[in-house]
Structure 1
Amino acid sequence: MSKAERMKHEEVLRVELEVLRREHRDLDDAITALEETGRADQLALRRLKKQKLVLKDKIARLEDQLTPDIIA
């Protein structure tokens, strides 16, 4: 992969990372709003929390791809 291709690939990953972070924040807000009602559907909350964890894992993988390995 050429340097230009690698930079374009990294740019795409950064955009995808920002989208995932935004989705993660939105889920967090939705979970908080449901919990604050005091009448939250526990099944719906569990599903939202599971989605949030899946997004967190995807975010971590993308961050790993974007962070160069440093040999100490």
Structure 2
Amino acid sequence: FTYIQIKNIMLGYNLKSSWAHKLGVSGLQVNFSVENPYTFCDVRSVLNYDNSWFASYPTARSFVFGLNVNF
């Protein structure tokens, strides 16, 4: 079987210091991450954590949003 699995996507952005000062902070960073967003496969099953086929549960997908604030 052939497959391609996207394991992790992470995006982050540092706000300009002028924007951060308008909010009353010295620095502000926003980030977003998603684990296991998609598996491209010609089979209906997806990989489980132990990389075995035909698992009873699909690989879990998680979303994380982060905010780093400097005062």
State TM-score, norm by structure 1.
Answer: 0.29
**CA radius of gyration, larger in:** 2
Structure with the bigger RCO (C-alpha within 8 Å, sep 6+) is 1
Higher strand proportion (structure 1 or 2) = 2
Higher helix proportion (structure 1 or 2) = 1
